[in-house]
């Protein structure tokens, strides 16, 4: 089964999601489809903020990105109406942990640390 908008829409209706309104924890690809964003490589790929993925110079400099106020089809990579509210999405813990470790390693000054003492 492919993770398409129509497939997820059918699945949510068959489990009566609108009646129960559960929280959902899923992979980022599924989250993007659930909130109606364009699934391909996009400029504004974050469903929480208007983070510009193609502006590499500001990734580590700019700390505060504007929050996505409305998810409107046709605006900022929004393809469809959201199937669930972004408040009902739980971020996958593994992706968060890997992202934190990547940032930790990038911040280390490898020239000053003698890694042979840790081996």
All structural domains of the chain with their residue ranges: 5-91
Ranges 2-6, 22-26, 38-42, 72-76, most confident: 22-26
For the whole model, what pTM was predicted? 0.60
Q: Show the tokens assigned to 31.
A: 């989250």
With the CA atoms of 101, 44, 10 and 12 taken in that order, what torsion angle do they form, in degrees rounded to the nearest 10? Answer: 50
Report helix, strand or coil for 24. Answer: strand
Q: Which two tokens stand for residue 106?
A: 């990038």
How many Cα atoms within 13 Å fall on the side-chain side of residue 17? 15
In this predicted structure, what is the pLDDT of residue 10?
A: 94
Identify the residue whose tokens are 């929480």: 48
pLDDT digits (tens, 9 = 90+) for 24-40: 888 878 888 888 777 66
């Amino acid at each position: 089964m492919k993770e398409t908008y129509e497939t997820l829409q059918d699945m949510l209706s068959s489990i009566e999601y609108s009646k129960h309104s559960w929280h959902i924890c899923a992979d980022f690809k599924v989250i993007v489809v659930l909130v109606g964003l364009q699934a391909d490589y996009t400029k504004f790929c974050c469903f929480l903020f208007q983070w510009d993925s193609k502006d590499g110079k500001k990734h580590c400099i700019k700390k505060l990105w504007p929050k996505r106020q409305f998810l409107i089809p046709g605006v900022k990579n929004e393809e469809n109406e959201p199937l669930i509210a972004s408040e009902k999405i739980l971020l996958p813990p593994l992706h968060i942990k890997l992202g934190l470790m990547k940032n930790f390693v990038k911040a280390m000054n490898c020239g000053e640390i003698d890694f042979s003492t840790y081996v």
